[in-house]
Amino acid sequence: MDNVWKNAPPRLNEPAPAFAARTTHGPRSLEDYRGKWLILFSHPADFTPVCTSEFVAFARAAGRFRALGCELLGLSIDSNFSHLAWMRNIREKFGVEVPFPVIEDQSMRIAFDYGMIQAGASDTSTVRATFFIDPESKIRAMVYYPMTNGRSVEEFLRLLQAMQASDRHGVATPEGWQPGDKVVVPPPSNVAEADARAKAGYDYVDWYYARTELPSAPAKRKAKTKRGAR
């Protein structure tokens, strides 16, 4: 376990540790996901009940993540043969096809680089660590769960959409924000801005707390074509 502490753990808004690995879908590297969002998540072990419930949920939501420009990538220190057998078992017993790759990390190199093995939690198993990696390969969020408790896939969808809204519009999102809710306007940086805040047309509570609606996406206009035009 001494190897766990040789590398500094990853930090928010810094480049994600590079990797190249064997997976259930063939070789994968971090570079393969550049230009997309990536959720890299570890699980303690194959053929375990809590991990199975998570994989079923991730698999069922994979299309929703992909619609948001986000790919999923699992990891544990089990062998690729174990992963393949487990994926087939999930398909047979739960009727769910797992559409995303799962990394074989028997050397624990990726797990160490990402801080997925926690001192005191286990000598060998990865905890339920989840990393949101943006299109520029920077870590934007990290979520750790204990081995005994499954993650909320719906919360990960919500968090992904919140971060995308912040990037797109330069705003923050309040507790429990859902798409369509009002967002938090960045606080004023000087007295003049603070004084003008109440007259700016926001949902105003006080000079430091104001909310607003996000602009609606422009409606798609159907192209009009003349009869006979191609």
In sign, the C-alpha dihedral spanning 169, 14, 26, 54 is negative
- Residue of 161, 125, 165 whose CA lies nearest to 146: 125
Do 93 and 204 have their domain in common? no
The pTM for the full model equals 0.87
Is the domain of 47 the same as that of 143? Answer: yes
pLDDT at 119: 61
Q: Find the radius of gyration of the CA atoms of the chain.
A: 22
**Alpha-carbon distance 151 to 144, whole Å?**
9
My answer on whether 181 and 139 are in the same domain is no
Per-residue pLDDT averaged across 22-30, rounded?
98
Question: In angstroms, how far is CA 161 from the centroid of its own chain?
Answer: 10
Q: Is 130 a residue whose pLDDT tops 90?
A: yes
Q: What does the pLDDT read at residue 198? A: 83
pLDDT tens track for 178-205: 999 999 998 888 999 888 888 888 899 9
Which is more confidently placed, 194 or 17? Answer: 17
Domain count, the chain: 2
Query: Which pLDDT score, from 0 to 100, does residue 217 have?
Result: 52
Catalytic position from the list 51, 110, 165, 185: 51
Strands (E), 53-111: 70-76, 102-104
**123: confidence class by pLDDT, cuts 50, 70, 90:** low
User: Is 51 an active-site residue?
Assistant: yes
- 219: in domain: no
Neighbours of 186 (CB within 10 A): 11
Report the pLDDT value the prediction gives residue 218, as an integer from 0 to 100: 46
77 shares its domain with 142:
yes
CB neighbours (10 Å) of residue 161?
17
Instruction: State whether 177 and 144 are in the same domain.
Output: no
Q: Residue 33 gets which letter from DSSP? A: G
Report helix, strand or coil for 42. strand
Question: Are 40 and 101 in a shared domain?
Answer: yes
